[in-house]
């Protein structure tokens, strides 16, 4: 009988991904500029993925202290000591208010106009609504203001990491690696192998749909904490 390894640690470095993409285009990496332009294309493609809504694996659970009389949180009060990462937050979803008896209460998201139309934003009570202002320095606004100390629980959609150094590993789930390679090959073909562009685009879209459909099947586990609370420290 055949024997199999006991580990599953296959991964691809940025070097591997770029080399594979060039090979699919029938090309070889010849200059440093080839690497530079490929890495730029890779970052643009990751931005495209975010625009397509593929952020599920970057969901991060956060728990923060919500002091009494708080109307909004930003910077370190919202994102902790590593507040510089706030610029990577795409959105906040599923905000939960937990009281001192460990009772959890869901909240509803409202628009900017709805929040700013509240005349007295310091009205106190258990927060039932929130508005997340997605700017360079994001702010989470709560209404009404907390009437006592609570624990704030929320799930943040975090921007995927850039391609980074040539030797870094791609921070991409295993099932998305075929899509990543197919997509980069397509992006490179637009600049260097236009005769292969249509075929590579079809393959890319097919791989993207397959990976996104598989990822979407797990959405409820990640994005519905009011009906399912995972254990083991979140995501």
> Cβ(144)–Cβ(124) under 8 Å?
yes
pLDDT value at residue 103: 96
Q: Kindly list the distances between the CA atom of residue 6 and the CA atoms of 9, 12, 13, 174, 175, in Å, as whole numbers in the listed order.
A: 10, 19, 22, 17, 19
Which of these three, 118, 144, 159, is where a domain ends?
A: 159
The span from the CA of 91 to the CA of 78, in Å, is 13
**pLDDT tens for each residue of 81-115:** 554 455 567 778 789 999 999 999 999 999 999 99
Task: Check whether residue 129 and residue 176 sit in a common domain.
Answer: no
Does the residue 8 lie in any domain?
A: no
Task: Check whether residue 211 and residue 154 sit in a common domain.
Answer: no
Does the residue 235 lie in any domain?
A: no
Task: Check whether residue 69 and residue 146 sit in a common domain.
Answer: yes
pLDDT value at residue 215: 61
- Residue range 156-185: average pLDDT? 72
For tokens 């899509």, name the residue: 179
Categorize the per-residue pLDDT at 205 as very low, low, confident or very high, splitting at 50, 70 and 90. Answer: very high
Domain that holds residue 68: 56-159
pLDDT value at residue 4: 42
Closest CA relative to residue 171, chosen from 38, 13, 7: 13
């Amino acid at each position: 009988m055949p024997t199999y390894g006991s580990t599953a640690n296959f991964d691809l470095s940025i070097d591997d991904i770029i080399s594979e993409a060039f090979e699919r285009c029938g090309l070889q990496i010849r200059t440093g500029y080839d690497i530079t332009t490929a890495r730029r294309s890779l970052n643009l493609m990751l931005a495209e993925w975010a625009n397509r809504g593929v952020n599920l694996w970057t969901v991060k659970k956060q728990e923060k202290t919500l002091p009494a009389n708080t109307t909004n949180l930003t910077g370190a009060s919202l994102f902790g000591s590593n507040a510089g990462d706030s610029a990577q937050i795409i959105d906040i979803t599923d905000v939960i208010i937990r009281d001192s008896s460990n009772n959890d209460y869901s909240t509803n998201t409202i628009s900017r106009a709805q929040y700013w139309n509240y005349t007295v934003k310091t009205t106190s009570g258990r927060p039932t609504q929130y508005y997340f202002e997605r700017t360079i320095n994001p702010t989470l606004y709560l209404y009404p203001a907390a009437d006592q100390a609570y624990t704030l629980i929320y799930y943040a959609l975090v921007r995927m990491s850039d391609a980074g150094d040539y030797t870094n590993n791609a921070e991409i789930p295993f099932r998305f690696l075929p899509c990543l390679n197919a997509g980069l090959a397509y992006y490179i073909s637009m600049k260097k192998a236009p005769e292969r562009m249509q075929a590579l685009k079809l393959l890319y879209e097919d791989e993207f749909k397959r990976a996104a459909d598989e990822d979407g099947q797990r959405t409820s586990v990640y994005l519905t904490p009011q009906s399912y609370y995972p254990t083991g420290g979140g995501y």
